[in-house]
Amino acid sequence: MTASTLPSIYDFTATDIDGKPVSLSTYRNSVLLIVNTASQCGFTPQYQGLQALQDKYASQGFVVLGFPCNQFGQQEPGSTSEIQSFCERRFGVTFPLFQKIDVNGQNAHPLYKYLTKAAPGIFGTEAVKWNFTKFLVDRAGNVVKRYSSLTKPEDIEKAIQTLLQAQSAVLK
């Protein structure tokens, strides 16, 4: 990537829950929902809705990417193995989970620095306000929309369907 080239979602790498680096280019041509998660949050039951979307649309090229974060109320204090076990046992999570990261501040993961610039929140603020903020990304790697923690996964379903249908025709 040259200095004059703007990064894309596919230029980033994140470490998966098992400690392996994963290039986001792995998800090229997929519709993505990138979410900062936490196991001890009032929004934690959204894992169920996220998994339902993953189950329903994975065969069409949709992937949820979960990024545990402990920056909001210390609601993700567990170790990597505790997080993974909790998500699998409690919610049957099969979508990709990554290592715990920061989403705000000096130590924010570069992916989240990119996402928050590409899709600022209300009143143009870039900072992620709480757990379960969601970023919808199209098959070309464009950040389409940012959703707050209050937005339930099922409320994003129509937008996901639209991206999957519109862009599947382009890929054929």
CATH number where 167 lies: 3.40.30.10
Per-residue pLDDT of 101-115, as tens digits, reads: 999 999 999 999 999
What pLDDT, on a 0 to 100 scale, did the predictor assign at position 172?
47
Domain range for 71:
9-171
Q: Can you say whether the dihedral through the CA atoms of 84, 131, 148, 110 is positive or negative? A: negative
Per-residue pLDDT of 116-140, as tens digits, reads: 988 777 666 678 889 999 999 999 9
Would 3 be classed as within a structural domain? no
What pLDDT, on a 0 to 100 scale, did the predictor assign at position 105?
92
Would 68 be classed as within a structural domain? yes
Percentage above 70 pLDDT, the chain: 91
pLDDT bin (cut points 50, 70, 90) of residue 74 is very high
Would 2 be classed as within a structural domain? no
Structure tokens at 59: 């065969």
Q: Which residue has the higher pLDDT, 143 or 172?
A: 143
pLDDT at 169 over 60: no
pTM of the model: 0.91
What pLDDT, on a 0 to 100 scale, did the predictor assign at position 58?
96
What pLDDT, on a 0 to 100 scale, did the predictor assign at position 34?
98
Please, is 165 exposed, middle or buried when counting C-beta atoms within 10 Å of its C-beta (0-12, 13-18, 19+)? exposed
pLDDT at 94 over 70: yes
Would 1 be classed as within a structural domain? no
Number of domains in the chain: 1
Residues noted as catalytic: 41
pLDDT at 7 over 90: no
Would 57 be classed as within a structural domain? yes
pLDDT bin (cut points 50, 70, 90) of residue 167 is low
Would 4 be classed as within a structural domain? no
